[in-house]
A = this chain, B = another copy of it.
Amino acid sequence: MAKRPKNLLVAQSGGPTAVINSSLVGVIDEARNWPEIGLVIGAERGIKGVLEEKLLDLYRESPATLQALRWTPSAALSTSRHKLQPGDLERIVDVFERYNIGYFCYIGGNDSMDTANRLGELAQAQGYGLQVMGIPKTVDNDLVETDHCPGYGSAARFVAATLRDAGLDTEAGAASTPVKFIEIMGRHAGWLAAATALAREGRPDAAPQLIYVPERPVTLATILSDVERVVKRLGYAVVAVSEGIRDPEGNFLAASESVDAFGHQQLGGVSVYLADQVTHVLGLKARFEKPDTMQRACTALISPVDAEEAYQVGRAAVRALREGYTAQMVNLIREPGPVYRVHTGLVPLEKVANRERLLPPEFMASPEEGATEAFLAYARPLIGPPLPIHARLERYPLARAYP
């Protein structure tokens, strides 16, 4: 009698992205090709669903559902931010044994890579034949050992498009409200804020006129004088600001002042705070925009490049498991040359777990430059087709002495 095939368990972890479901479908589609894989089982809410045995039979989903899921943002299995408790890993291995799980795919960020890695180590120590594979996803783009992370391209497309639109709107209404802050995701890393520089492609003076990232400490006073200078020059300023910008002492800018009636620090976030400061200190009317989770969930601005790559890393994870690999993360390797091309590879989980990649010096520029040409060349292909072309009037003045 043939050996009973082992099942594959897949889960999604951390913040959703616009394309994390595409990776899930990649796993399911590829697993169907291999008779040595039994069922594909989905755990609801990440590792929590394993602990609670909330498990789904994903092979029963219809082809139509799976096809549409490739273009559906957010995490179809739901996610959690469950912190591992003592005994959790042992309990997970126990559940895995009972459900005959031989393969585990964890779609997530650097925390998840750590969980997957520890799980693989424990199973090995117990002599239980579990292969684990990490599938990268994060709009923060902060995983090491990969050219970029699935999820980032779509978020980058969203923020670039948003800044471009906001630039048009702010310029048109500059007579009444000349300053606008847009708060971009990123507590530690400025990858997403830097991507707003793509909004300026072809028009260097366009929005955002200033970009602040967590990697470059900055004071409120500097931001105020930067804004004032830009408004003096152009008549308006649109500012992209990472939620995690800090002063030179390492304190978050937004948390440093104003406490409400309950003694809570900070209502809103850094964009609320900065708009308020510009209004009251500089006397310039300022608005703020906080797209929040729209950055990771906007259907209309999914990057097709990103969606396809997310699908491919899912497929590659299953192929690697079948080839016997374990304790690896699938990564994206960019091929050299002028044409954008990537292929997938593998990197040991222990090299990725709990590490974070900040913007390297060659990508960082002054707030006014926002990002270097090298960064733009890096990020440009990830967002998919160029953003739509907007028209501007040539503005032919009528002679004063007309007619």
Chain B residues with Cβ below 8 Å from A398 are 39, 41, 55-57, 99
Q: Write the nearest CB–CB distance from A155 to chain B, whole angstroms.
A: 12
- A400→B53 CA distance, assembly (Å): 8
A382: CB under 8 A from chain B? no
Complex partner residue of A260 from B67, B74, B276, B391, CB under 8 angstroms:
B276
A354: CB under 8 A from chain B? no
A344: CB under 8 A from chain B? no
B165, A393: Cβ atoms closer than 8 Å? no
Chain B residues with Cβ below 8 Å from A3 are none
A180, B293: Cβ atoms closer than 8 Å? yes
A45, B396: Cβ atoms closer than 8 Å? no
A290: CB under 8 A from chain B? yes
What's the number of copies of this chain in the assembled complex?
A: 2
A interface residues, how many (CB within 8 angstroms): 96
Complex partner residue of A261 from B16, B39, B71, B258, CB under 8 angstroms:
B258
**Which residue of chain B has its CB nearest to the CB of A18?**
B165
B290, A264: Cβ atoms closer than 8 Å? no
A76, B293: Cβ atoms closer than 8 Å? no
Q: Quick one: which of A55-94 are within 8 Å of B by CB?
A: 55-58, 60-62, 64-69, 71-82
A residues neighboring B (CB under 8 Å): 12, 15-16, 21, 39, 41-42, 44-45, 48, 53-58, 60-62, 64-69, 71-82, 98-100, 161-162, 164-166, 168-176, 180, 257-258, 260-262, 264, 267-268, 272-273, 276, 280, 287-294, 296-301, 387-398, 400, 402-403
